Copies of this chain bind each other. A is one copy, B any other.
Amino acid sequence: MARHRFDCSLRWSDMDAFGHVNNTTFFTYLEEARVDLLFVHAGESVARERLSSGIVVARHEIDYSVPLVFRPETVPIDVWVSRLGTSSFELRYQILDEGGPVYAEAATVLVPFDMVAGRPRRVSDEERAALEPFLEAS
């Protein structure tokens, strides 16, 4: 099972003046799923430490299909590693109800970054080991 499932809580205030979850808020949901994967569930604590402090977002893309409205129940987000390169990797996501609509599909390119030196760095061995269980090439 390569995919990680995160159950995302909606907030009433996520809705905008049109009465739907605002399109920008989907990126907050993706961030929560990504944080849950990289900071909480991926690999050993050493790898998670690096994943949580030494990675920058280089690119996002998202396709919206169906509007989402606030509800007390969480919405499932599936997230997995769709590409694992030497100097970057990509996550893909689906926001969807089990047996129901896919609200959105998205992808994020992440780049390991040496914060002290101020420049990109290579994916470390610990990071690779932590990410590989979630790899599902697309």
Contacts and interface: CB of A to CB of B under 8 A. Distances in A.
Interface of A: 9, 11-13, 15-17, 19, 22-24, 27-28, 31-32, 35-36, 39-40, 56-64, 67, 70, 72
Copies held by the complex? 4
A56 B67 CA distance: 10
B72 A64 contact: no
A39 to B, nearest CB: 8
A31 to B, nearest CB: 6
B59 A32 contact: no
A59 B62 contact: yes
Contact of A36 (B39, B58, B72): B72
A60 B61 contact: yes
Given A58-B63, A62-B60, A64-B59, A28 B13 contact: yes
